[in-house]
Chains A and B, each alone.
Chain A
Amino acid sequence: MKDVLVFLCGFIAVAIKQGTPLLFGSTGEILTEKSGNLNLGIPGIMYMGGVSGVIGAFFYEKAMAGQPLNPLLGILIPLVCALLGSALLALIYSFLTITLRANQNVTGLALTTFGVGVGDFFGGSLAKLFGAGGSLSIRNTSTLFRSTLPFAEDWGAVGELLFSYGFLVYVAFVLAFIVSFVLNKTRIGLHLRAVGENPATADAAGINVTRYKYTATVLGGVIAGLGGLYYIMDYAYGTWSDGSFGDRGWLAIALVIFALWRPKTGILGSFLFGALYVLPAHLNFGENRMVQYAVMVLPYVVTIIVLIVISMRKKREHQPPQSLGLPYFREER
C-alpha cells in the first residue's frame, strides 16, 4: 500500500511539473480570449519567453565568468528578460489586431512562426554568435530556478508531492487563482468579459475597449511567456535543444477549450494533460513506442470532443466569448 502511495505521489509530482508550462500558457490565453482576442501566437510567445530568459541568463553567466552567481540577480535577470520578450511579441499582436484591425488568425500564426523562429535561432546559435565556445549551457542559473524548500526531501512522498518544485510552479498556481478572481469577482473582470462578449455594448457603456484589449492581451502574453521560461530553466535544466518544447504551446490552447475558459479548471486540466504526457513512460510499455505516441494524441482528441459537446449543448456559460476572433471597428457599428 505504501509503495502505491509513494508511486502515486511521485507520478503526480511529475505530472504537475509537466503540466506547469501548459498552465501558464492556458491562463494567459484565457485572459487574452476573455477580451475577444484569439491569440494563436501563444506558442510563439512561449518560445520567446523561454529564449529571452536563456539570453538573459547566458549574458549574466558570461559576465560573472565562473564566479558564483548572486541568487537574486540570477533569477531576476532571466525573469525580466522573459517578461520583456513575451510582452514585445504580445504588443506586436495587439498593435496589428487592435490598432490596425488585422485578421486575428493570420496575425497569430505569423507570430507563432516568428516566435518559434527566434527561439530556435537564438537557442541554437547564441553560443556561436557570442563566442562562448561549445554548446549553450546555463546550468548555474537553472539550479537557482530549480532550488526547492530545504525541508522538501525530509518529508518523503508528501514532501515530493507538495514541496519538490521550483518557485515558478507555485507562481503558476497563484496566477491561475488571481486571474480567476479578477475575471469573476471584480469590476475590471466584468468589464473585460463585457468587451469579449460584445465590444459595441461595452463601448456604449463607456468602457475603453482598446485599453482593455491591449492590457489583457499583453498581460496574457506575459503570463504565457513564463511558461516558456519555466520549461527551459526548470524542467529542461537550462539546456536548449531543438524542438524539445514541442507542441506544448498548442496544448495550452487546447487546454483553454478543455477548461471551458475557466482558469481554475485549467489547473486540473494541466495536471491531466501533464499526466497523459508522462503516462507512457511511467506505465512502462517498454519497447512499444506506438502506444506511447498514440497516448500523446489523447489531449487533442479529448479537446475536440469537448469542443463538439459544448457546441451541441449550447449552454451559455460554456461558450467561448461571443466576439472571440472578431475585430471591433467602432465606426462600423
Chain B
Amino acid sequence: MATEKKTAAHHEPLFHIAKRDQMVWWKAWIIRAAAILLALVVSGVIITLLTGLNPLNVYGEMIKGNFSNNRVFWMLLQKTSVLLCNSLGVTLAFKMKFWNCGGEGQVLAGCIAAAACMIYMGDSAPNWVIIVSSLITSMLAGALWGGIPAIFKAQYNTNETLFTLMMNYVAIHLVKVLQVLWENPKNSGNVGTINRASQAGWLPKLFGMQYLITVLIVAALCVLVYVYLKKSKHGYEINVVGESQNTARYIGINVKKVIIRTMLVSGAVCGLAGFLLVNGSSAPTVGPNTAGGQGFTAMLVAWMAKFSPFAMVLASALIIFLQQGSVAIATKFGLHRSLADIVTGVILFFIIGCEFFIQYEIKFRHKKGGVQE
C-alpha cells in the first residue's frame, strides 16, 4: 500500500489545471487589460517589422488616424456605434447560448430592406415616412433572417451555428442580385448613392453633425439592452435557458418560445444596424461589403466584453480605433488596408486566450511530495 502511494506521488504531473471559484471582478479586468496591452505591443512590433516605423510612432500614427480631424473622429464614432449595435444584437442570442453567427446576414437583410424603402418610396413619400418605414422594415428583415434558424433550432434542434453561417451567404448573394436590379448608373455594377439629389430617406444632421443621430440611437439601445437583460422577465428567461434548458423547462419556461422570441429580437437589433449603415450614411448605398465583416467582428466584441453592454462600448471602440489606425498607417506606407485585420486578429487571440487564466488556475506539483487526494 505504502509503495503504491509513493509511485503515485512520483507520477503526479508537473502541474495540473483547476477551475477557479470566481475571481474578484477587478482582478479579472486586470488580466484582460494586461492581455490587451500585450496584444498592443505585439501588433506594434508586427507593424514596425513591416513598415520600419519606430514602435512608439506606430501608436502615434494610430492616434492621428483617429483624432487628427473632425472627419476621422466622427468616422470613429459612427463605426463604433454600428459595431456596438451589432454586438448588442448578437449578445441577446449568446446569453441564451444560441450561437448566432449570422450577424453579417442579419445586418445585410436590414440594409436591403432600408435601401428598398429609399429606392421605391423616394419620389412619392415625405421624408419622415421613408425613414420610419426604412427603420421598421429593416428591423423586420433582420428578425426574419434571425428567426428562420431559430424556428428550426426550437423545433428540430438544427445546428444553429452552421445554419446562421449559411444564412450570411444567402444574404450576400441576394444583395448581389439586387445590386444588378438597382444599379445606377446602368451597367456600373453598383447601386451608387441612393437619392443623391433629393436626399430622401437620409437621416437628418443634428446640429450639423452627420452621425450624431446614429450615436444617440445606439447609446439609447445600449441602455435598453442592459435593462432588458438585467431587469426584465425576458432577460431572466434568456439567462435560465442559457444556463440549462432542463432547469428552464422545470420552472415552467416555454423554451421554444424563448429561443424564437430572443432570436427575433436579436435579428431585429442587427437589422437596425443595417438601417444605420444605409440611411445613416453620408452617401447611402448597398452592396455585399456594406456590412464589411463587422457581423463577425461583433461576435468577437460581444465575447471580449463578456456580454456586458457597457463593456461592449469600450470593446467596440478599441477595435474600431485599431482598425482605423492601422488603415491610416497602411495608407501612409502604400500598403494594403487589411493590415487592420491582422491587428484585429492579434488582439482577439490574446483576449480569447486570457480568459483561460481568469477561469482556471495552474497548480504546480508540491515540491516535497505529500500525496494529494
Residues of A near any B CB (own CB < 8 A): 38, 40, 92, 95-96, 100-103, 105-107, 109-121, 123-125, 128-129, 242, 247, 250, 253-254, 257, 289-290, 293-294, 296-297, 300-301, 303-304, 307-308, 311-312, 320, 324-325, 329, 331-332
What are 12 residue pairs bridging A and B, where the CB atoms are less than 8 Å apart in the complex? A92-B349, A102-B355, A109-B296, A109-B300, A113-B293, A113-B344, A114-B341, A114-B342, A114-B345, A119-B338, A304-B163, A332-B19
Contacts of B336 in A (CB 8 A): 120-121, 123-125, 242
Q: Whole-angstrom distance from the CB of B43 to the nearest CB of chain A? A: 11
Residues of B near any A CB (own CB < 8 A): 16-19, 50, 99, 101, 152, 156-159, 161-163, 165-170, 172-174, 176-177, 179-181, 293, 296-297, 299-300, 303, 334-336, 338-342, 344-346, 348-349, 352-353, 355-356, 359-360
Check B353–A128 contact: CB distance below 8 A: no
Selected from B101, B159, B176, the residue in CB contact (under 8 A) with A320 is B159
Complex: A120 Cα to B300 Cα, angstroms: 21
Contacts of A124 in B (CB 8 A): 335-336, 338
Complex: A96 Cα to B348 Cα, angstroms: 11
Check A293–B176 contact: CB distance below 8 A: yes
Check A113–B162 contact: CB distance below 8 A: no
A101 in contact with B344 given A40-B101, A125-B335, A307-B163 (CB within 8 Å): no
Check B349–A110 contact: CB distance below 8 A: yes
Check B101–A105 contact: CB distance below 8 A: yes
Q: Whole-angstrom distance from the CB of A216 to the nearest CB of chain B? A: 19
A308 in contact with B152 given A106-B300, A254-B166, A300-B170 (CB within 8 Å): yes
Selected from A113, A120, A308, the residue in CB contact (under 8 A) with B296 is A113
Besides A100-B353, A311-B158, 5 more A-B contacts (Cβ < 8 Å) are A112-B296, A113-B296, A128-B335, A254-B169, A331-B16
A300 in contact with B18 given A289-B180, A308-B158 (CB within 8 Å): no
- Who on chain A is nearest to B339 by CB? A121
A113 in contact with B163 given A96-B352, A311-B158 (CB within 8 Å): no
Selected from A107, A242, A293, A311, the residue in CB contact (under 8 A) with B157 is A311
Check A103–B303 contact: CB distance below 8 A: yes
Q: Whole-angstrom distance from the CB of B58 to the nearest CB of chain A? A: 16
Q: Whole-angstrom distance from the CB of B331 to the nearest CB of chain A? A: 12
- Who on chain A is nearest to B183 by CB? A289
Complex: A101 Cα to B101 Cα, angstroms: 20
Q: Whole-angstrom distance from the CB of B359 to the nearest CB of chain A? A: 8
Check B172–A247 contact: CB distance below 8 A: yes
Contacts of A247 in B (CB 8 A): 169, 172
Check B352–A308 contact: CB distance below 8 A: no
- Who on chain A is nearest to B158 by CB? A311
Check B174–A129 contact: CB distance below 8 A: no
Contacts of A300 in B (CB 8 A): 166-167, 169-170, 173
Among A102, A109, A297, A303: residue with most chain B CB under 10 A: A109
Contacts of B176 in A (CB 8 A): 293, 296
Check A105–B334 contact: CB distance below 8 A: no
Check B338–A117 contact: CB distance below 8 A: yes
Closest 3 CB pairs of A and B: A114-B345, A117-B341, A124-B336
Complex: A103 Cα to B165 Cα, angstroms: 16
Among B152, B303, B338: residue with most chain A CB under 10 A: B338
- Who on chain B is nearest to A124 by CB? B336
Contacts of A254 in B (CB 8 A): 166, 169
Complex: A291 Cα to B342 Cα, angstroms: 35
Complex: A289 Cα to B158 Cα, angstroms: 33
Among A120, A125, A254: residue with most chain B CB under 10 A: A125
Contacts of B168 in A (CB 8 A): 250
Q: Whole-angstrom distance from the CB of B293 to the nearest CB of chain A? A: 7
Check B177–A290 contact: CB distance below 8 A: yes
Check B165–A40 contact: CB distance below 8 A: yes
Check B335–A129 contact: CB distance below 8 A: yes
Check A109–B172 contact: CB distance below 8 A: no
- Who on chain B is nearest to A126 by CB? B336
- Who on chain A is nearest to B163 by CB? A307
Check A296–B173 contact: CB distance below 8 A: yes
- Who on chain A is nearest to B173 by CB? A297
A312 in contact with B101 given A107-B352, A109-B299 (CB within 8 Å): no
Check A307–B162 contact: CB distance below 8 A: yes
Complex: A270 Cα to B163 Cα, angstroms: 19
Selected from B159, B161, B170, B297, the residue in CB contact (under 8 A) with A311 is B159
Check A110–B163 contact: CB distance below 8 A: no
Check B170–A325 contact: CB distance below 8 A: no
Q: Whole-angstrom distance from the CB of A205 to the nearest CB of chain B? A: 20
A118 in contact with B163 given A311-B152, A331-B19 (CB within 8 Å): no
Check B172–A117 contact: CB distance below 8 A: no
